[in-house]
Structure 1
């Protein structure tokens, strides 16, 4: 996973689609897609919170897989929906190289004060 763009309320990462993340029939595994989504959403929480004061944990993730992809790259864009003092809600859209929507995920994170 390579982080490629950051903005005011979003973070983008890309991941290659190859045999390392394929299901047995040669398409991107949903679990790999969810791992990408949680990685970029959690990283975004660290970017937009004070990492010196907080640790971030994912507390819920959901995913809808809409299209298959077998090669190239997928891009995950985590966009902030809600930034509370304790919880954050992220929408993560997974797209292919032609900007077609592959999956859409929602991730809830919690910021816990470091002790």
Structure 2
């Protein structure tokens, strides 16, 4: 198993018995400047009218945005806390899988700004999110 697979397995393991498990969010890819997670779209994450709930989309985005900062700092010395989150929902989804890709667009000593794009199965952006993470010394 390569280091990429080890890291993805660690991330997925750490999310057992959490909201990620409830929503079936899975980390699927990682690179030098990004982290990717997926979530199935089914009745568990629908609004009453049968489309993906914006809150579930935001949970997916937060679930990929915070770990992106965690991977960029020494977690023995620092903690990561989300302090501001915004989302623009651009399109609706009824079924399939949505994929969130997070990238740090500003990496300061105490603040990271993370952009998260959530796309549908056809690669269309359904939500564009920004997460500000505060980096706290332990």
TM-score range with shorter-chain normalisation? Answer: over 0.9
Secondary structure in 2 matching 1:12: strand
TM-score, normalization by structure 1: 0.97
Of 56, 66, 70, the residue aligned with 1:32 is 56
Across the two proteins, how many residue pairs are aligned to each other?
Answer: 114
Shift of 1:68: 0.4
Using CA pairs under 8 Å that are at least 6 residues apart, name the structure with larger relative contact order, 1 or 2: 1
Specify which structure has the higher proportion of helix: 2
Note the residue ranges of structure 2 that are not aligned, 5 or more in a row: 1-24
Separation (CA, whole Å) in 1 of partners of 2:71 and 2:110: 15
Tell whether 2:20 aligns with 1:15. Answer: no
Specify which structure has the higher proportion of strand: 1
TM-score, normalization by structure 2: 0.81
Partner residue in 1 for 2:81: 57
Compute the RMSD of aligned alpha carbons. Answer: 0.6
Secondary structure in 2 matching 1:105: strand
Note the residue ranges of structure 1 that are not aligned, 5 or more in a row: none
